[in-house]
Amino acid sequence: MLFDQSRHEPLTKCLWDDAFVEAEILTIIDDIERSLLPESCWPTHPLDAESYPNAGPKWSAYAGAAGTIHVLQILSRYGYRVTDLSDILETVYQSFLKSPDVSVEPGLQIGELGILMPAMLAQSNNEVLSRRVIRCMEATLELPLYEITSGQSGMMHGALALYRKTGENHWKELYVKGAKTLLDNWKLDTNTGEWLWQSQVFGPKRHYYGACHGLTGNANILLQGVDLLPNDPRAMILKRTISTLNISVEQDDNLANWKLCTKPNIEKLLVQWCHGAAGIVTAMARTPQDDSQYSKLLDRLLQKTGELVWQAGPLVKGANICHGTSGNGYALLYLYRRTGDSMWLERARLFAIHAIEQCQKARLVYGQGRYTLWTGDAGLAIYLYHCLHPKEAAIPGLDLF
């Protein structure tokens, strides 16, 4: 088996319904707005409390107030009537510095940068914010991480978004510095022929394949801003990435997946955004198509990987983006955007209906919503909107700011 059946559950029998989906988005917005605490945060969900040693409020972009505020910013741009909470981001930031979710670190998902990004997007001319953001971005450059959560590639997503928004050169320069760090540390394994990064994100040095901590996540951000890089490394990036995926893939008929990491090996075959098939699709599906052998090979791999995501089904862990049904649904949406095949959209929408059911059941079990971007209902709301408007599909807090 290319996936662990115990991590998945049967897909809902209910069919797609636009009005049902729109109503759930409004329910999530209402719940978020009603549940804001006087401390400028939201009640910590028991499942998020289990994941962090700090039992207090959560502030980060990943599972805290900053990510929820960012979601409200995005929903406002999409035309929803929401309360703009950008003005409390300074309180969120200062609270994080006093009592961080994990530790005071500069990164995108669990550190300072993820809190500063939505503030910066709301006040792109604020010099104090700019200096803070620049300091955090520069601090990631020498870290031995090479991944999204806390490392260079997460910083590069933020720098690229700010450069595209403002055209200011210092954001471009930070993106290019990050790209140089990635490219300088991308190493060939002469035994296997694979090109991989060695990351210490969880302590031990490992070579990851997935979207959050490894090969495909780094390739994705390099390719998104490749027009800014000297000597046009596009062909080299594609060749290294796709050949490595082809060497390391595990296949069974029309299905494909990748183990968690190598050196030291973790043989788990996960089907999530953060690790495994779903994230590999979302990271690589935006790659430009052409008639080259590598482009055709990538399309074959993506087709098989998307089929695995579909056959594995929704995740037991819930409706969220990082390691839940919405994240897997995004893989199906990205394949729809890449291929134009309505089958992928239909499948993504069925995952959306299932995710709504998971969210509603969880509210009953825990007596509250889960007010987070990556692990909870706020991120789900964006996924539901993208299922209604698939041409806009992009993962919030990463491909979408």
Residue-wise pLDDT tens digits, 116-127: 999 999 999 999
Tens digit of each residue's pLDDT (9 = 90 or more) over 146-193: 999 999 999 999 999 999 999 999 999 999 999 999 999 999 999 999
- State how far the Cα of 221 lies from the Cα of 170, in Å rounded to an integer: 18
Residue 257: beta bridge partners? 250
pLDDT for 139: 97
pLDDT mean over 258-274: 92
Per-residue pLDDT at 355 exceeds 80? yes
Identify the pLDDT of residue 263.
82
User: Does residue 261 have a known ligand-binding role?
Assistant: no
- Which domains, from first to last, does the chain contain? 5-388 (1.50.10.10)
In tens, the pLDDT along 321-331 reads 999 999 999 99
Q: Check whether 14 is labelled as a binding-site residue.
A: no
Residue given tokens 């990943």 in the structure block: 62
pLDDT value for 401: 96
